[in-house]
Amino acid sequence: MECSDIRNKLQVFLDDLLTEQEYKEFCEHIDSCQKCRDYVRSVGNLSNQLWKLGKVRVPDDIIPTILFRLREQKQRIERIRFGLDAVIIILLFIILAIFFMSDYYRKNQIFLKSKKESYNSMPQQDYSYTQDIVSKTDEWQESRSFEEEMHIAEEDADKEEIISDETKTTLPTFRPSDVVEKVYLRDIPFHWHLRYSQKREGRLDLLDMLIANNIIPIYQKYGIIVFNSSGRNIEGLVEKILLTCEKDCSLVNFTGTVFTPPDKERRVSIYFEYDKTNSLHWHIDPIISNNKSYLLEILEKISVDIDYKSDEMIVLSVPNSEIKKLKAKIQATGASILEYGHTEIKQEDALLTSSPITISIYFTK
Amino acid sequence: MGYIDNEKMVKELFNLYGHKVFAFILYLVGLDQDWAYDICADSFVEAIGMNLSPNESFLTKLISIAISKARITKIMPEFGGLDFLQVSEADKGALRIVLEAFCKLDFETKVILLLRDQMNLGYEKISNIMHKSEVDVKTKLVQARLLLRKEIENIFNSKTR
């Protein structure tokens, strides 16, 4: 049998289909021929041959290499995670900062817009009444425009506002800021009438009470006591006054709606009314500035002596014979007069009819 | 990503599958032991760090990774003394012819022959690894064996002339 025969009969040999004679010759050939023997081995059981290929020598250091590379991978992952965390935190911080800044900006814009709208929606002022206010106080030198008033009010934010019931009715219902209120700033002192039914000495008792409460009168003559006191004390003063004179007096507050902050001083004037008095006390209705100056001129021409003068009160001596004339001139200006007290001229004092009579005039508001 | 920080576990895994996988990779990369070493180590590292799907075994995952890494290597095999083979010298003679013929086959043919005859995997696992049906795997396997046999005959004929 030749080598070519071996190749041709190999599959038949593997299937065990050779005749006995062919099998004998086949085996004798592969025993003598190395190449055919190798060929038969390789092809004869291919699967077995391939399986034998699996028996290889593996390097001893491959396991440590695997462990080392695993540790490297873990460290790389941790570095990436740390970096990602840092980036996320920074992004969150930036987003939060943008959010809060935009929110602050939005709220600030809303606030400014509302302020602007409130200023634009303020109603027009009653300038006639404002002029009236100007005439009554010495502080108002000249009338100002609404814009000037706003500017002054903004500069002097500490000035308090005093609002009476009369002013409240004309004040705008919408008062967004101090700007509107500053226009109505004025000094309005308190003015009370203390009516004594019997005792004339009540005035002395009242003076003692005031001094005991550290109140020093500025003026106290002709049935008038004038003093300064803080708003806080004034509130308690009414009660003390009534307690001082007990049942024999009653207090009428002609400025009951004047508002005084607790720590702000206000002037208080008290006019004493007795059954018999030797002084007159006139309440003159609100007058415009021109008439007030005109009236003051009249008073100064007639009067002999101005004993006390303030923005709302004048105490002066007027000749008895001039009282009626003075009263007529005041009424001629259109102002109305409420008279308190009366003069009592005794027969024996008829020669003294030309002696001056004290008139205290209170310009009501 | 799962991570096994257990040296003992790694050793056990390698003892189970390491030798066969190393041989598998060695024949795919044209008998280059250095390449086989790196690819084997990287394949283990990658397979250990990955999460397995419910029907997936560690071995199939490992082999899939090794195949993808070996595919990109193109090395001309050199047949030396076959010292890496732990077989008798008589077997080495026959295996040399088989190796020469085997190295002439294309990559896919090599894979299927090694998976079936060297790794002794079943048709189901082979189909999972190669992403083919079992019928295709059987068909490919028959064709692969015929191709290998033909290559062996060609080598034998060229040497006997």
Set of chain B residues whose Cβ sits within 8 Å of the Cβ of A65: 37, 41
Q: Say what the pLDDT of residue A201 is.
A: 63
Q: Which residues of B5-23 are buried (b: 16+ CB within 10 A; e: fewer)?
A: eeeeebeebbeebbbbbbb
Indicate whether A36 pLDDT > 70: yes
Is residue A96 less than 8 Å (CB to CB) from chain B? no
Q: Based on the number of CB atoms within 10 Å of its own CB, is A129 exposed (0-12), middle (13-18) or buried (19 or more)?
A: middle
Give yes or no for residue A95 having a pLDDT over 90: yes
| Tokens encoding A126 | 């009653």
| Paired tokens of A44 | 């004869």
pLDDT over 50 (residue A351): no
* pLDDT at residue number A54: 77
Min distance A74 CA to chain B CA atoms (Å):
8
pLDDT of residue B39: 93
Give the DSSP H/E element, type plus range, for residue A338.
Answer: strand A337-340
Give the pLDDT band of residue A43 (cuts 50, 70, 90).
confident
Please provide the distance, in angstroms rounded to a whole number, between the alpha carbons at the two ends of chain A: 152
Lowest mean pLDDT segment, chosen from A23-32, A96-105, A115-124, A199-208: A115-124
Mutate to test the interface with A, among B152, B158, B159, B161 (most CBs of A within 10 A): B152
Least confident of A64-78, A116-130, A209-223: A116-130
> What confidence tens digit (pLDDT) does each residue in A100-152 have?
888 888 877 776 777 666 656 655 544 444 444 444 444 444 445 555 655 55
Round the average pLDDT of chain A to a whole number and report it: 72
Q: Is the pLDDT of residue A172 over 60?
A: no
Q: Write down the H helix ranges in chain A.
A: 3-14, 20-32, 34-44, 46-52, 62-120, 127-136, 146-155, 165-170, 178-182, 202-212, 231-245, 289-302, 323-332
Q: Is the pLDDT confidence value at A212 over 90?
A: no
**Beta-bridge mates of residue A250:** A195
Query: What pLDDT does B1 receive?
Result: 40
A346 or A12, which is more confident?
A12
Question: What pLDDT shows up at residue A222?
Answer: 76
Please state the pTM of the whole predicted model. 0.45
Answer yes or no: is the ipTM higher than 0.90: no
Give the 3-state DSSP-derived string for chain B, with helices as H, strands as E and coil as C.
CCCCCCHHHHHHHHHHHHHHHHHHHHHHCCCCHHHHHHHHHHHHHHHHHCCCCCCCCHHHHHHHHHHHHHHCCCCCCCCCCCCCECCCHHHHHHHHHHHHHHCCCCHHHHHHHHHHHHCCCCHHHHHHHHCCCHHHHHHHHHHHHHHHHHHHHHHHHHHHC
| A150-173 average pLDDT score | 47
Residue B68 is predicted with a pLDDT of 92
Contact A7 B149 (CB under 8 A): no
Q: Cβ distance B103 to B31 under 8 Å? A: yes
Nearest to B118 among A54, A57, A69 (CB): A54
Q: Cα separation of A93 and A42, whole Å?
A: 72
Label residue B52 by pLDDT band (50, 70, 90): low
pLDDT digits (tens, 9 = 90+) for B74-92: 666 666 567 787 877 777 7
Residue A78 near chain B (CB below 8 Å): no
- Residue closest to A176 by CA, chosen among A198, A201, A143, A154: A154
Task: Indicate the residue of B113, B156, B159 with minimum beta-carbon distance to A50.
Answer: B113
| pLDDT tens digits for range A308-343 | 888 788 888 877 777 887 888 777 777 788 888 765
Do residue B152 and residue A39 have CB atoms under 8 angstroms apart? Answer: yes
* Residue B119 pLDDT exceeds 70: yes
pLDDT the model gives residue A108: 78
Q: How confident is the model at residue A207 (pLDDT cuts 50, 70, 90)?
A: confident
C-beta separation of B103 from B30 below 8 A: yes
**Residue B157 touches chain A, beta carbons under 8 Å:** yes
pLDDT of residue A158: 46
Predicted pLDDT of residue A333: 74
Q: How confident is the model at residue A352 (pLDDT cuts 50, 70, 90)?
A: very low
Residues A241-287 pLDDT 10s: 777 776 667 788 777 666 667 777 888 888 887 665 557 888 887 65
Token pair recorded at residue B39: 């690819």
Kindly state the percentage of chain B with pLDDT values over 70: 88
Structure tokens at A194: 């203390």
Q: What is the mean pLDDT of residues A179-183?
A: 38
Nearest to A67 by CA among B6, B22, B130: B6
Name the nearest CA neighbour of B128 among B28, B43, B61.
B61
The predicted pLDDT at position B8 comes to 85
